Chains A and B, each alone.
Chain A
Amino acid sequence: MSEKYEPSRREFLSRGGILLFGNALLDASGPGTRAATAIVTEQEGKVPVIDCHAHAGIARLSGTEDDLTDPWNAVADPEMIFRRAKEAGIDQTVIFPIYNRTYEKANEDIAEICRRYPGRFIGFACHSPATEAGRIRTLLLREYQAWGLRGVGELEEDPTPELLDVVKELRIPILIHPPREHVAPFNDFVPSYPDVNFIVAHLGSSGSEDFEEHLAAINLAKRYPNVYLDTSNVVITRYLEMAIEELGPQKILFASDEPESDCRLEIFKIRNLKLPKEHEEMILGGNILRLLGGSRRVP
């Protein structure tokens, strides 16, 4: 049970969740750094199991009303994710920051966590289109090129052209929480970016809070070939079955939303569906692997 996680968690929390790392990583831009977020590829015919949605690091919100008010405004311990993922048979987990006002420091944390757990985490950067307007291209290029971050997530606001243009340029996926808990806003920006792969978090509705948003997400993914749905936090699992039936397995990506949700339980929701092996492999890792494979270096 969770007691066995306590020592590392205590250690993590005793530092207020602040990760102790030097500047070496931040100055590095060579292949060694990028190797920290290397993606496991198919080995001996086995498709790796990849969780495409987890949060790690700390929130730096001092002086704001959101500071330390909720678990997602505080800390997310990568050690906890690592141990549960290992137990669940998950080879790699995509991690991105928890809630912050600006994300430069939080993205550094992500890169450092990926380096500290070689081969276990794939780092994504997060950015706020509102509070970081005008700087996003510069920041994201560095995070991608120097630190090896491989996508953008979890965006909680409407993306702006500034953000989507650089995502398109880098050919990286972007994972978005339905803005204001609605899927409809995706229709405003997805058609303008047919080359960008969009991942809709939570099958459109975290906790299955609004079943109509699950239906809207399924319809969105049906309409646009570049829209994918992540499976995290679906409570009414018949909507997962509906999504797979109507869209096919290639549009569905296994996700947990660790550490607030538990990847051992979230992956059970997929395995419980008893899908054909090749379909399950696509959902549990093959699809996100494909989306991550298209990224490129920018001169």
Chain B
Amino acid sequence: MSENRNTVPLVIDCNAAIGEGVTWEPKTRPVNYDPAVLLRYSAQAGIRRSCIMPARSKFYREKNKEIAHLCEKYPEKFIGFAAHNPQAETGTLRQMLIEEVKSMGLKGLRTDGHPTREVLDTVAELNIPVMYYPLLGVQQPPAGPGTAGPQEYTGPARAYYIMATVYPSVNFILPHLGSYRSSEWWAHIEAIDLAKRLSNVYVETSGVLSHKYLEMAVREVPVDKIVFGSNAPEEDPRVEMFAVKLLKLSKQQETAVLGGNIGKLVAQLVA
């Protein structure tokens, strides 16, 4: 998984979105992410494969089918992740996810909301990673139905510590080093502490505005716990790639961050 036949390290973007939906911002903006744009941007950034998942949406079942379809169409380019809202889809999520992984070939899950036991039991059984970004300190109305009402003020430590210790066999990916746009600097510190403390928590690199926290992460967190992501096409993967290059890692470390680590998390399913 980590090397291709020409022994060029395989660069994998572990966080890209496709299709129609809205942004994750408190003030949402409608989006329709075009796979052609993602492919073009990614090629320019030197990315060989992208983990693609649906844009934020009210309903994910059909969106996940679109993801699976694109992965069939571009098997060398895309690795599909399902997305689900654990609260809005409670009771039905397990069956959907099993089908999406076993029949449709999706390799991971992004949750739109805090993972529930239903989610975590299922991903443990399926042996797939979970990507979850806890929205920080905002009164965020979730996109899904049946989940109206503000979320509690939270951060990575509170969002992750309990579930990651209760489910040690599940691998979690925390996007944006815990704080999109570095909007809350302390959330980066919490993310770094989590990744140091818990063997099953990985941190993803996209959207870190204050680059010094990425530098802090590579100083403090074992490098095999850091995974490259771009948040493309919302963000430019060339910029996100440059942020990793700027860390001036050794070749071996950079290869791990840029693809080797996420490759291991999905290896048994992708190989």
A contact set with B: CB distance below 8 Å: 1-3, 70-71, 207-212, 233, 235-238, 259-262, 264-265, 268-269, 272
Contacts and interface: CB of A to CB of B under 8 A. Distances in A.
Interface string B194-214: 000000000000010111100
A207 B207 CA distance: 9
A265 B246 contact: yes
Given A235-B207, A272-B239, A262 B246 contact: yes
Interface string B234-251: 111011001100111000
Nearest to B44: A272
Contact of A262 (B29, B185, B212, B238): B212
Given A2-B215, A71-B185, A260-B212, 9 more contacts: A207-B183, A208-B181, A210-B25, A211-B29, A235-B209, A237-B236, A261-B210, A262-B212, A268-B242
From A71, A212, A268, residue with most partner B Cβ within 10 Å: A268
23 contacts: A1-B218, A1-B247, A1-B248, A71-B185, A207-B209, A209-B25, A209-B181, A211-B25, A236-B234, A237-B235, A237-B236, A238-B236, A260-B210, A260-B212, A261-B209, A262-B211, A264-B211, A264-B246, A265-B242, A268-B242, A269-B236, A269-B239, A272-B242
Contact of B181 (A70, A207, A238): A207
A267 B247 CA distance: 16
3 shortest A-B CB distances, which residue pairs? Answer: A207-B181, A262-B211, A2-B215
Contacts, number: 62
B251 to A, nearest CB: 14
A176 B212 CA distance: 25
A233 B247 CA distance: 19
B27 A265 contact: no
Contacts of A237: 235-236, 239
Nearest to B185: A71
B188 to A, nearest CB: 11
Contacts of A233: 209
Contact of A265 (B181, B183, B211, B248): B211
Interface string B213-225: 0010011000000
B182 interface: yes
A2 B29 CA distance: 36
B247 A265 contact: no
Contacts of A259: 212
A72 B245 CA distance: 26
A2 B215 CA distance: 7
B232 to A, nearest CB: 11
Contacts of A262: 210-212, 246
Interface string B244-261: 001110000000000000
B196 to A, nearest CB: 18
A70 B184 CA distance: 10
A256 to B, nearest CB: 10
B246 to A, nearest CB: 6
B27 A212 contact: yes
Contact of A209 (B183, B238, B242, B248): B183
Given A237-B239, A269-B239, A261 B211 contact: yes
A268 B210 contact: no
Nearest to B211: A262
Contacts of B29: 211
Contacts of B185: 70-71
A270 to B, nearest CB: 11
A259 B219 CA distance: 19
A210 B27 CA distance: 7
B213 to A, nearest CB: 10
Nearest to B23: A211
Contacts of B235: 235-237
Given A262-B211, A262-B246, A207 B182 contact: yes
A255 to B, nearest CB: 13
Contacts of B210: 260-262
Contact of A235 (B27, B181, B238, B246): B181
Contacts of B183: 207, 209
B215 to A, nearest CB: 5
A264 B243 CA distance: 9
B238 A272 contact: yes
Nearest to B210: A260
A265 B243 contact: yes
Contacts of B182: 207, 260
Contacts of A2: 212, 215, 219
A208 B239 CA distance: 15
A79 to B, nearest CB: 14
Contacts of B242: 265, 268, 272
B25 A265 contact: no
A3 B248 CA distance: 11
Interface string B104-115: 000000000000
Nearest to A238: B236
Interface in B109-166: none
B176 to A, nearest CB: 10
A2 B210 CA distance: 13
Contacts of A1: 215, 218-219, 247-248
